[in-house]
């Protein structure tokens, strides 16, 4: 893994933009700081704690370290980016596996509650069992005795146990609009596959996409942050996009991304006010830029006790812990232009 001193890699053009943004916003309240006292927006991020599973020994200690750090950080909220709790055993689902995962999930939610601030969840592929995806109506009995994509409880059970309002949803904090997406779906559209270069294994379903278009339109003037477990872009090891880390660390999982993510990225580009998208799933750091939006993948919390603190004021500041890189990223062009008005 790249050392902390050399890990914050910003291309020359991005570094120049960052300098311009800082100069433009100096001495102002900052167009992205909605609080009256101009204090930075703060939130905590962890991804892939994998609190159950055959390799989970020590994982809960890593997650508790994240919780303890959030108590000191005192963020506006904390969010888990998915794969929060995994199956207690592998193979076809049994009643014991179902009951064990659900019971443990409730325990880990109680640990998360100790952060002392609002908390949110993103559904990961290892969190739930899904057969058809989307708004499927399945019960735990539908999972018993069969293999399936995902784990041993239903999406509905995960939502209830975590207090999450829907598999995809949005919320506002201090003038920012936050969007949570569910990438754990098979394709339900005739749209072309593999447009990013290789066919992906996940999908943003048509119902969710229609909701997202309406949600973006309703909140057009607000700066936005998006969360999804799986990346909305293919990340070949040579790097991709219009900037960011090049090359990426070789971790495989080349097909493990949202295949129609290009459609979602297009919506974000058309919206013009999406500051960043955060992901988990790949277990290692990624930073890619598309159309002035930062696409950032976090290192897994179960790996080297990795997580991040984010502050947004004059820059997008990401302080990494464990194996997570730290970044001081420039504001996008639209934010810089607003600051110059």
CA dist., res. 133 & res. 41, Å (int): 34
- Measured in residues, the chain has a length of 341
Structural domains in the chain, sorted by start:
43-336 (3.60.21.10)
Give kind and range of the element (H or E) at residue 15: helix 12-25
Burial (0-12, 13-18, 19+ Cβ within 10 Å), 278: buried
Q: In the structure encoding, which two tokens stand for residue 27, read together?
A: 């001495």
Residues 6+ apart with CB under 8 A from 188: 133, 134, 203, 205, 206
Strand 41-46 vs strand 77-80: parallel, antiparallel, or unpaired?
A: parallel
CB 256 within 8 A of CB 226: no
β 316-321/327-329 pair status: antiparallel
Q: Tens digit of pLDDT per residue, the chain (341 long)?
A: 333 333 333 332 333 233 223 322 332 234 565 443 578 999 999 999 999 865 566 799 999 999 999 999 999 999 999 999 888 888 899 999 999 999 999 999 999 999 999 999 999 999 999 888 888 889 999 999 988 778 899 999 999 999 999 999 999 999 999 999 999 999 987 778 999 989 999 999 999 999 999 999 999 999 999 999 999 999 888 888 889 998 888 888 889 999 999 999 999 999 999 999 999 999 999 999 999 999 999 999 999 999 999 999 999 999 999 999 999 998 877 776 654 45
d(C-alpha 246, C-alpha 212), whole Å: 30
Task: Render 39-88 in DSSP notation, one character per residue.
Answer: PPEEEEEE-----SSTT-TTHHHHHHHHHHHHHHH--SEEEE-S--S--S
The answer to whether 286 touches 245, Cβ cutoff 8 Å, is yes
């Amino acid at each position: 893994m790249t050392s902390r001193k050399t890990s914050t890699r910003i291309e020359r053009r991005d570094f120049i933009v960052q300098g311009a943004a800082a100069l433009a916003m100096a001495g102002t309240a900052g167009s992205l700081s909605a609080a009256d006292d101009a204090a930075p927006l703060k939130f905590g991020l962890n991804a892939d704690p994998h609190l159950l599973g055959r390799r989970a020994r020590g994982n809960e200690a890593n997650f508790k370290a994240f919780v303890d750090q959030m108590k000191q950080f005192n963020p506006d909220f904390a969010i888990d980016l998915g794969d929060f709790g995994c199956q207690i055993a592998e193979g076809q689902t049994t009643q014991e596996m179902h009951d064990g995962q659900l019971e443990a999930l409730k325990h880990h939610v109680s640990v998360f509650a100790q952060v002392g601030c609002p908390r949110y969840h993103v559904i990961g592929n290892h969190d739930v069992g899904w057969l058809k995806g989307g708004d499927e109506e399945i019960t735990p009995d539908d999972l018993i005795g069969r293999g399936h994509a995902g784990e041993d409880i239903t999406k509905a059970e995960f939502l209830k146990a975590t207090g999450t309002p829907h598999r995809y949803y949005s919320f506002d904090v201090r003038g920012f609009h936050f969007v949570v997406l569910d990438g754990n779906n098979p394709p339900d559209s005739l749209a072309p596959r593999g447009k990013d270069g290789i066919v992906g294994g996940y999908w943003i379903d048509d119902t969710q996409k229609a909701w997202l278009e309406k949600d973006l339109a309703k909140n057009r003037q607000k700066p936005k942050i998006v969360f999804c477990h799986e990346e909305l872009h293919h990340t070949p090891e040579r790097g991709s996009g219009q900037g960011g880390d090049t090359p990426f660390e070789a971790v495989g999982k080349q097909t493990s991304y949202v295949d129609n993510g290009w459609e979602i990225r297009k919506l974000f580009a058309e919206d013009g006010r999406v500051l960043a998208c955060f992901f988990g799933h790949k277990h290692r750091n990624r930073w890619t830029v598309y159309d002035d939006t930062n696409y950032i993948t976090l290192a897994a919390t179960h790996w080297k006790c990795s997580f991040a603190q984010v502050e947004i004021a004059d820059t997008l500041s990401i302080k990494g812990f464990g194996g997570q890189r730290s970044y001081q990223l420039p504001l996008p062009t639209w934010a810089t232009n607003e600051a110059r008005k």
